[in-house]
């Protein structure tokens, strides 16, 4: 599993404050702690309160790059914010995200090619969030065919079925999971799949249990990457164990420690 740490997000109070005050220490601390806990990449999101996201994202990218050369996942719904982040990036970039709308694809696919970046494609369009897996698959196929027409390989594309909170969209959970498998067979080579895991438990009690149960199930449906809190140790243990069960990790009595030492 390609693990993307979710914690550098202005929606968190301390990160939001640090961005406002341009205080590097908390940002660099969260970056290093997430990597130490097992993150392969870091999501970078200025959050809903940032008033100048175009410059804030540059400050975040530069601040994080001072302490790591791991990939950065530029998370914004605004293409101008993504482009601004790309201008200062030295690490590998993943664009988070495009939708299936041609206006967005027209901007973000060329940018991904220009910067040799990965691209997350949300299966959403101007018409809103799909209500079933047929609509999800149709939007996924739109994104894949646009990318292949532009010569952007599906191996650099991460399709996201958009995880909804279980407390409001319980009836959709099975479709979301099945979509993960369906996305993998759209093209050859396959696109990759990703989810923003913590969405599933927003507004619920027992958040950590819901997160790790959903992630374990998603692993069984073939999930490639996840935006998660890597500092949730029980979540990481469940993730490692689900990969063990699927024969993606070699068994030994101390497999959890063995995985973490890698
Ligand atoms: N897909 C993609 N990118 C995404 C998402 C997705 N980026 C953002 C988000 N969803 C993933 N990241 C988070 C980060 C935090 C939370 C959920 C998803 C979260 N935060 C607490 C909350 O809202 O309750 C904040 C608590 C606090 O303020 O301290 O749950 O789906 N491609």
Q: Residue 172's domain is classified under what CATH number?
A: 3.20.20.20
Q: What is the dihedral of CA 92, 191, 216, 75, to 10 degrees?
A: 40
CA–centroid distance, residue 200 to ligand 1 (Å): 9
Categorize the per-residue pLDDT at 21 as very low, low, confident or very high, splitting at 50, 70 and 90. very high
The residue contributing the CA closest to ligand 1 atom 16 is 198
Percent of the chain with pLDDT over 70: 100
Query: What's the average model confidence in pLDDT over 231-258?
Result: 95
The residue contributing the CA closest to ligand 1 atom 26 is 12
pLDDT at 157: 98
Length of the chain: 262
Query: What's the average model confidence in pLDDT over 199-207?
Result: 97
Burial 224-240 (b: 16+ CB within 10 A, else e): bbbbbbbbbeebbebbb
On whether residue 149 sits in a domain, the answer given is yes
The answer, yes or no, to whether any atom of ligand 1 lies below 6 A from the CB of 120, is yes
Q: Indicate the top mutation candidate among 4, 9, 165 to test ligand 1's pocket, ranked by most ligand atoms within 8 A of CB.
A: 9
Burial class (CB in 10 A: 0-12, 13-18, 19+), 196: buried
On whether residue 258 sits in a domain, the answer given is no
Residue spans of alpha helices (H) in the chain: 13-21, 24-36, 53-65, 79-88, 102-114, 133-149, 173-184, 207-220, 233-245, 255-261
On whether residue 156 sits in a domain, the answer given is yes
**Statement: residue 19 has pLDDT above 90:** yes
| Number of domains observed in the structure of the chain | 1
Residues 6+ apart with CB under 8 A from 19: 10, 27, 46, 47, 50, 56, 59, 60
The residue contributing the CA closest to ligand 1 atom 3 is 196
Of 47-56, 95-104, 162-171, 193-202, the poorest mean pLDDT is in 47-56
Query: What's the average model confidence in pLDDT over 95-109?
Result: 98
Categorize the per-residue pLDDT at 223 as very low, low, confident or very high, splitting at 50, 70 and 90. very high
The residue contributing the CA closest to ligand 1 atom 27 is 12
Query: What's the average model confidence in pLDDT over 244-262?
Result: 92
Query: What's the average model confidence in pLDDT over 14-26?
Result: 96
Domain around 197 = 2-232
Q: Indicate the top mutation candidate among 198, 204, 214, 228 to test ligand 1's pocket, ranked by most ligand atoms within 8 A of CB.
A: 198
**Statement: residue 183 has pLDDT above 90:** yes
On whether residue 244 sits in a domain, the answer given is no
Query: What's the average model confidence in pLDDT over 73-92?
Result: 98
The answer, yes or no, to whether any atom of ligand 1 lies below 6 A from the CB of 98, is no
Average pLDDT of the residues of the chain? 97
CA–centroid distance, residue 65 to ligand 1 (Å): 22
The residue contributing the CA closest to ligand 1 atom 31 is 196
pLDDT at 173: 97
On whether residue 32 sits in a domain, the answer given is yes
pLDDT at 49: 81
On whether residue 247 sits in a domain, the answer given is no
On whether residue 40 sits in a domain, the answer given is yes
Categorize the per-residue pLDDT at 262 as very low, low, confident or very high, splitting at 50, 70 and 90. confident
Name the nearest CA neighbour of 193 among 222, 244, 219, 159. 159
CA distance 48 to 193: 25
**Statement: residue 229 has pLDDT above 90:** yes
The answer, yes or no, to whether any atom of ligand 1 lies below 6 A from the CB of 11, is yes
On whether residue 262 sits in a domain, the answer given is no
Q: What is the pTM of this model?
A: 0.97
């Amino acid at each position: 599993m390609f693990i993307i740490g979710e914690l550098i997000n202005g929606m968190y109070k301390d990160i939001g404050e640090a961005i406002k005050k341009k205080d590097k220490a908390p940002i660099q601390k969260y970056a290093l702690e997430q990597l130490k806990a097992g993150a392969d990449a870091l999501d970078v999101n200025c959050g809903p309160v940032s008033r100048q996201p175009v410059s804030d994202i540059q400050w975040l990218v530069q601040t994080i790059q001072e302490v790591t050369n791991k990939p950065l996942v530029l998370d914004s719904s605004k293409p101008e914010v993504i482009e601004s982040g790309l201008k200062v990036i030295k690490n590998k970039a993943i664009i988070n995200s495009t939708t299936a709308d041609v206006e967005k694809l027209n901007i973000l696919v060329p940018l991904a090619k220009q910067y040799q970046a990965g691209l997350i494609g949300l299966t959403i369009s101007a018409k809103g969030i799909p209500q079933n897996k047929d609509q999800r698959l149709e939007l996924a196929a739109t994104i894949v065919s646009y990318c292949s027409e532009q010569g952007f390989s599906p191996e650099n594309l991460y399709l996201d079925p958009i995880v909804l909170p279980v407390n409001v969209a319980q009836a959709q959970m099975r479709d979301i999971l099945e979509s993960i498998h369906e996305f993998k067979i759209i093209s050859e080579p396959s696109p990759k799949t990703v989810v923003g895991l913590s969405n599933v438990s927003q507004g619920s009690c027992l958040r950590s249990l819901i997160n790790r149960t959903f992630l374990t199930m998603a692993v069984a449906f073939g999930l490639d990457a996840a935006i998660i809190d890597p500092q949730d140790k029980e979540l990481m243990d469940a993730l490692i164990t689900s990969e063990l069960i699927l024969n993606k990790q070699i068994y030994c009595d101390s497999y959890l420690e063995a995985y973490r030492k890698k």
